[in-house]
Structure formats: C-alpha cells, structure tokens
Amino acid sequence: MRKVAIFGAAGAIGRTIGGELERRGIPFRAVGRTKPRLVEAFGKLQQAEIVAADLADTQAATEAARGVDTVIYALGVPYTAFDLYPKLMRTTVDAAVAAGVERLVVISSVYSYGIPQTQKVAETHRRLPVSKKGQLRKEQEDIAMAAALKSMVVRLPDFYGPNADLSLANPIFRAALAGKTANWLGPVSTPHEFVFVPDAGPVIVELASRDECYGEAWNFAGVGEITTQGFAQKIYQAVGREPKLRSAGRTLLRILGWFNPLMRELPEMLYLQETPVLLDDEKLRHKLGQVHKTSYDDGIKLTLEWMRKG
C-alpha cells in the first residue's frame, strides 16, 4: 500500500488502524465529518493527513479518496440510523471508483450471519440475517464485494477498549468506576466474546496489505469465550468493587421504547445474547500465522487506565 484513506477514522477502529499505519510508516488520510476529533486523534502522527468530509456526499467522498490506492471503511452509524449503511457504502464505492482507488476494505460485524447454525461461525456460514440491522449490514457487504475494485470484508465481534465508548462493553467499565450498576441487553450467562480494540488494527492492516486476501471475507474473533457476567466480574474486581449487573429483557425494552428511540431498536438484537455468534477465525490465523490477542485481564487493566487518564 502506497497511501491509505481511512473513512470513519475518528472512531475506535479507525484510530487503531491509523496507529498501525503510522507504526509501519505508511502515509494515510484520516477522513471524518468533524475536524477537531480528527486533529485530536491524529494531529501528532507524522504519516497522517487530516481531511474533514461529509461521506454521504459523493463529490466530497471522491475528493477524500483521490490519490490513495486503498480505502479502509470503518465508519459506524447510530443504532437509530442503520439504514445509512447501504447508502453510505454505495457513495463510498462510487467515490472510490471515480477516484481510481484499487482496493476497498470494509469493517463489518457478526450481524449478517443471523442465528448461528454451528457452534463456531466461519466465513463459509450462510448469511441469513434475522434482524433489519443484520439485513442492512448484509446489503452493505454485498455492495462492497460487487464493486468494480478489489474488496474484502473483515468481521469483528463486540469490542471494548480505548475510544470505544459507543461499544456495548465500555459502559460496564464506566459503571464500575462510578460504583454503579451496569446495564446489559439480554441474558448475561450465555457464551460471548470481545475484541480488544488495539488488537484489531494490526490484523486489518496486514490483511489490507496482501493482494491475495481480497475478494473474500475474514473473521477476527475475540481472545476466547466468556460470559457477560464473567466479563463484568473481572471489570468490577479490577476496580475493587462487587459486581453489579442488570439485564434488560424484551418486555422492559419495549416499554422503554415508548419513550426512547434507541431502546426501540434493541429488542430485535436480543438473539445475539440468546444464541450468540462466536467467530471461527482459523482461516485468518492460517493466512497470517499467530496474531496477537490481548487477554481479558490485560485488556481490562489497559482500558481502565485509559479511562482514568481521561
């Protein structure tokens, strides 16, 4: 890769990708809507060029992609605006083609798989989304893979860590530090997995740097299975407090949804806690060899250190 553009650079995944590109000495363009956030994240990095752009605008997205050979798409949207995923993907694809970009990497989630039919879900598992959000994620992936350029999709489970406050997991840390009860969506005793955000950047950049990895989807799983209850216990123990975790089920979420648009969006995603999607990333490990995955204990310690500094 000669030069990379990160679309959605100011988010947690975008930042760790930028950090890895900086470490490798690869020039990159950090693209996002809000310039102050981009400056805060990348202003001190030598390889970074900061560009504020509305990626919903094809012309602005084209200018943001001009002169780069690879676009890494890490843009996230609020739960209440998931219908933007396919629309923004079409804009990005059109912009990348118009700007002469060669490669597109899309960071996605487990939503497109639907309810797992196997204990571990490999890339060969059929994508049969059972939620509107899963269908929109599938559409996003399909648009990228049908584009007239080399494309790949990288799927991650829930994540946590520095700058990941929009994740489902980071609020547990905030609650523990404040001595409050943490909230969770659905059952807390089913198997789950979490990725520590800084682990994702090196894997994504390595995949993006290899031409033979395009035209495919890749899973990057967490460090291991853990229940949400077990994860929360580790967090509260790390701050020296007794665990306090409250679970919200369908009935409560529907009631809250009468008053809160975000709560209205959550019931359809409860299946992820009831029938968890646990990723099989054997294909990735076979291609890249041993990849670093931070233990839950170490990741929790580092996340708490970051939060205390902030």
What confidence score (pLDDT) does residue 257 get?
56
- Nearest CA to 293 among 228, 209, 239, 226? 226
- Nearest CA to 56 among 19, 28, 31? 31
Q: What domains are defined for the chain? A: 4-159+197-222+278-293 (3.40.50.720)
What confidence score (pLDDT) does residue 261 get?
61
What confidence score (pLDDT) does residue 185 get?
84
What confidence score (pLDDT) does residue 51 get?
98
Sign of CA dihedral 252, 254, 255, 260: positive
What confidence score (pLDDT) does residue 258 get?
67
What confidence score (pLDDT) does residue 32 get?
97
Sign of CA dihedral 143, 214, 193, 277: positive
What confidence score (pLDDT) does residue 265 get?
64
What confidence score (pLDDT) does residue 137 get?
97
Distance set, CA 66 to CA 28, 96, 192, 224, 306 (Å): 12, 8, 40, 40, 35
What confidence score (pLDDT) does residue 168 get?
86
What value does the CA radius of gyration of the chain take, rounded to a whole number of Å? Answer: 19
The residue with tokens 């460090």 is: 223
What confidence score (pLDDT) does residue 268 get?
80
Written as six digits, the tokens of 116 are 């797992």
What confidence score (pLDDT) does residue 124 get?
98
What confidence score (pLDDT) does residue 264 get?
63
What confidence score (pLDDT) does residue 242 get?
95
* Residues 15-31: tens digit of each pLDDT: 999 999 999 999 999 99
Q: Which residues of the chain have pLDDT under 50?
A: none
Long-range contacts of 200-203 (CB under 8 A, 24+ apart): 200/13, 200/16, 200/17, 200/156, 200/159, 201/13, 201/16, 201/17, 201/18, 201/19, 201/20, 202/20, 202/291, 202/292, 203/154, 203/284, 203/288, 203/291
